[in-house]
Every structure is written in C-alpha cells, then in structure tokens.
Amino acid sequence: MKRLGEFYGHKIPGFILDAGKTFLKIRTNGENTSSQEAKVTIRDVAIYYAHDAKDTYSGCRTLAGITGDWRPIDQLARECLAWFKFVNPDGLKREGLKVGLKPKF
C-alpha cells in the first residue's frame, strides 16, 4: 500500500481496496447493478487492450469479469494500466507480448 500512496500522492481513491505488483483490487459501483469487488490483474489489462479496447462497434466492454458501458470500463483499464506501468513495467510488457501487443513504453 505504500507504493499505492506514492502513486496517488497519498490520496487513494475510495474504489481501490488493495494493490500489488500484479493486481488491483477494486469495488465497482454501477448505476444499475449492486457494487461488487473485483481483482484486476496485469493479464486482464493486457487482454483488454489486445481485444476489447479495439471493439468500436459495441457500447459494452469487459475487464476482469466486469461488463458495462465502454466509458467507465475504459477509464478503469487506463487507471490499471497507469498503476502497472508505475509498479511493474517489466511484468506489464511481458503480459502484453503474450497477447500480441507491442508495448511502447
């Protein structure tokens, strides 16, 4: 959690419950669904950017089993991506390569 505090300038958003080098545990708060806890891994983020983020035809996307409107899902994916770039860039690159991405960082 120390690194999480560094990343967010000691103002950790309330939806983040825990974090590590390979995961971010969050609580969702959907408008039409009850809140749920989810664990987003580096692999989940890599898969999202390799497949779901490219789908511009659907208004719905999925990240780590969380499905919903593409905007909040995409925002969550960007948040997770930034965290993994900060805490574990090598692991993120490895997972990206496994799913056919060419990391540019």
Structure tokens that stand for 9 in this block: 């300038």
Q: What is the CA radius of gyration of the chain?
A: 14
Are 87 and 41 contacting, i.e. CB atoms less than 8 angstroms apart?
A: no
pLDDT value at position 68? 87
Distance in angstroms (rounded) separating the CA atoms of residues 90 and 18: 21
Tens digits of per-residue pLDDT, 14-61? 999 999 999 999 998 766 556 889 999 999 999 999 998 877 777 899
Global pTM reads 0.88
